[in-house]
Amino acid sequence: MKRKFRWGLFFFLAPVFLWLVLLIVLPQIDLLIMSFRAEDDLGDMVWSISNYFNFFDEPIYWLTFVRTAIYSILVTLLTFTIALPVAFYITKVVHPRFQGFLTLLLLLPFWVSELVRVYGWMILLRESGVVNHFLLKLGVLGKPVEMLYQDSTMILGLVYTSMLFMVVPLLAVLDSLDNSLIEAAYDLGANMWTILFKIIIPHATPGIVSGSIVVFMLTLGNYLTPNLMGGKNSLWFTEQIYNQFIASFNWNQGSAFGFLLLFLSSIVIWLGLKLSRQKLGKVVQ
């Protein structure tokens, strides 16, 4: 019986293991090796760390790197600020019979690809789009305004595309919060902010950290939304990586940039876990 169980477990885990090794581990190792390879004066490939030093030679590289990190943190904070009231309303305010329906409404936009959702925002916000049309009809605007290709629009798109990954962990942790704790706090004279910071947020901390990690990493590595909604001036670091791989065919430099981005995400996540006093094993459960 144990032997059958072991064979069953092996066949169950084998596809997952092969997927991890062939599509994630081996390509990452290959990119890491390429990031330490560079051409010498004779055109031969040699071991070098010059690809990483080139990052500091051009201000556009490290300025875009810092800008991407700051905006990714900002998007994570905004996503959390919006997602927490939504998750609390669904789990604690609305009648249980409507919770499934409201959760389904949150999931519906994510049944289509990110490209379709981004183009939907572009149709709404472009100069000849739906928003400008109604504002002109209502007399709010005298002429159409270009709302796309701005940092604020890009942040809006990033928050929208990341919202689900923050809401779902918060739904899970807030659903386990005992309503009597909130009622008892009200009976003892606590106000809304005290309940929020003393009961709700401490209880939801694992879900907050889990959702923040996912949102931050997805935002940091996003290419489509900044490129389409931010335009040529979006200055997102993934575009620099894309240019090195596709435009310049410099895979060694692109690999180095990719690992710099991976290093950045690891450092920020480590700092977030330390500040929140959470363990990675707990927040990913």
Q: Is residue 60 part of a domain?
A: yes
Q: Virtual CA dihedral for 61, 67, 69, 70, nearest 10 degrees?
A: 160
Q: Is residue 20 part of a domain?
A: no
What's this model's pTM, rounded to 2 decimal places? 0.87
- With 90 as the cut, is the pLDDT of residue 191 above it? no
Report the CATH number that the domain containing residue 152 is assigned in CATH.
1.10.3720.10
Sign of torsion, CA 239 245 249 254? positive
pLDDT (0 to 100) of residue 282: 62
Q: Is residue 19 part of a domain?
A: no
**Nearest by Cα to 72 from 161, 192, 200:** 161
How far is Cα of residue 201 from the mean position of the Cα atoms in its chain? 21
pLDDT band at 280 (very low <50, low <70, confident <90, very high): low
Q: Is residue 278 part of a domain?
A: yes
pLDDT (0 to 100) of residue 215: 94
pLDDT in tens, 111-124: 888 888 888 888 88
How many domains does the chain divide into? Answer: 1
- With 90 as the cut, is the pLDDT of residue 39 above it? no
Structure tokens at 69: 């990190």
Q: Is residue 17 part of a domain?
A: no
Q: Is residue 14 part of a domain?
A: no
Which domain, by its residues, includes 69?
50-283
